[in-house]
Amino acid sequence: MLTRLTIVHLRNLIDVELEGLAQVNLFTGENGAGKTSLLEALHLLGAGRSFRHTQIGPVIHHDADHLLVSCQWLDERGLGHTAGLQRWKDGRVRMRHNGESLATVAELASLFPMQVMNSSSLELVEGSPVQRRQLLDWGLFHVEPGFFPAWLAAQRALRQRNALLKHGKMDRQALNLWTHAFVQPSEQVQKLRREYFSGFREQFDRVLSSLDPALASTLQISLYPGWGAEHGSLSEALERGLEVDVRRGHTRFGPHRADMRISCRGRPAHAVLSRGQTKLVAAAMKMAQGSLYSKSTNRPGIYLVDDLAAELDERSRRSVAAQLSAQHAQVFVTAMEAADLMGCWSESLAEVALFHVEQGRVSRR
């Protein structure tokens, strides 16, 4: 659990020091005060990047050339740790854990299993397969050590295979080599996804049933591996589809095309659900991931929940709060008014800390 957070030169958060962080941390303030930027700072620790921008430049304060986010935290045994990240406008990155440098963002991300719940979460239902695939892979990254190496190997081979496909005159021997290099780790990725998805679906059904039993009874979620059963194995699918792949210049079958397909009464969920129902389904998907992570590792996750009151009605907010409390997750949640949040955790045994954000300054209430 995070106990202290330092933020320097991140948007309008010039020099912020938060102490006494609790299991549930509520941040209130007007629009533009810096509430979402606090969550953005936390996400930098958990992913090395912002959830609002692909580039780091807009995230760094205009008068500075770099930002800093650091924290103190306790592991599941109660042992204290420190971690931090610096990012410069010129692209440089420095990451440390307990005074030692980290070589990759993946090493930093493994320390902080964070889920973001905000308006963009609707893309899990309404958007492209990319968002759903990334959600599934987040869980695998944190609980299955063999997943990330296999995923990296498949991605490297895919890039090489696509590069060859884009050339009109290709070296067929080289193409065969890279196809083989792509198939082996891809099949491992799919195997791990299939095994993990079974547990994810179980948690998703449970969480959604607690939020809206009627909706849960009509919803189905399934895993599409990236090629149909009618194509046989991945090797067979690639062989049969080679001529089309050559014409189009890219690989059409593989784990990079996987998806979690959500349907309601046999129709795509996004075409049937109301906006409120879509919010609940997206929230259930996020919390199912956190629940499965906690169950698999015996470690609580971290949730960054932006503008909870705007996203869900009061009954749904209370249901979400109850789910998060049951997971013993650490929660950072924002809203305009404290009254919109305090009632959600009024029946919870979780320790709650209230902060007010105003013009980039944060004070404890």
For residue 340, the model assigns a pLDDT of: 81
Instruction: Dump pLDDT digits (tens) for 30-39.
Output: 999 999 999 9
pLDDT of 339 strictly over 90 = no
The arithmetic mean of pLDDT across residues 136-160, rounded, is 96
CA distance 30 to 15: 19
Q: Reply yes or no on whether the pLDDT at 120 is more than 80.
A: yes
Asked whether the beta carbons of 144 and 130 are under 8 A apart, the reply is no
Of the pLDDT bands very low, low, confident and very high (cuts 50, 70, 90), residue 134 is: very high
Distances (CA, A) of 300 to 2, 145, 266, 303: 11, 18, 35, 10
Tokens of 161: 């295979």
Report pTM.
0.93
Looking at domain 1-113+300-365, its CATH class is alpha beta
As a whole number of Å, the end-to-end CA separation of the chain is 20
**E-only strand ranges, 244-359:** 259-264, 267-268, 302-305, 330-335, 352-358
Contact 90, 33 (CB under 8 A): no
d(C-alpha 147, C-alpha 145), whole Å: 6
Q: Give the CB-side neighbour count of residue 205, counting CA atoms within 13 A.
A: 12
Q: Where in the chain are all domains bearing CATH 3.40.50.300? A: 1-113+300-365
Give the closest residue to 19 by CA, choosing from 358, 353, 351, 361. 353
Q: Where residue 171 falls among pLDDT bands split at 50, 70, 90?
A: confident
Residue 313 pLDDT exceeds 90:
no
C-alpha distances in Å from residue 199, one per residue of 98, 124, 206: 34, 18, 11
Band of residue 128 on the pLDDT scale cut at 50, 70, 90: very high
Is residue 170 within 8 Å of residue 239, measured between CB atoms? no
User: Mean pLDDT for the chain?
Assistant: 93
280 pLDDT exceeds 80?
yes
pLDDT surpassing 90 at residue 337: no
The whole-angstrom separation of Cα 219 and Cα 283 is: 14
CA–chain centroid gap for 344, Å, is 23
pLDDT for position 236: 95
pLDDT value of position 347: 64
Average pLDDT over residues 205-229: 95
Alpha carbon distance 251, 78 (integer Å)? 48
- Domain 122-298: give its CATH code: 1.20.1050.90
Q: Give me the helices (H) in 13-146, please.
A: 35-47, 105-109, 123-126, 129-143
C-alpha to C-alpha distance for 219 and 269, rounded to whole angstroms:
8
What confidence tier does 311 reach under pLDDT thresholds 50, 70, 90?
confident
Q: What's the whole-number mean pLDDT along residues 206-211?
A: 95
Give me the mean pLDDT over the 47-62 stretch. 92
Q: Start-end ranges of CATH 1.20.1050.90 in the chain?
A: 122-298
Range scoring the smallest mean pLDDT among 14-28, 133-147, 303-317 = 303-317
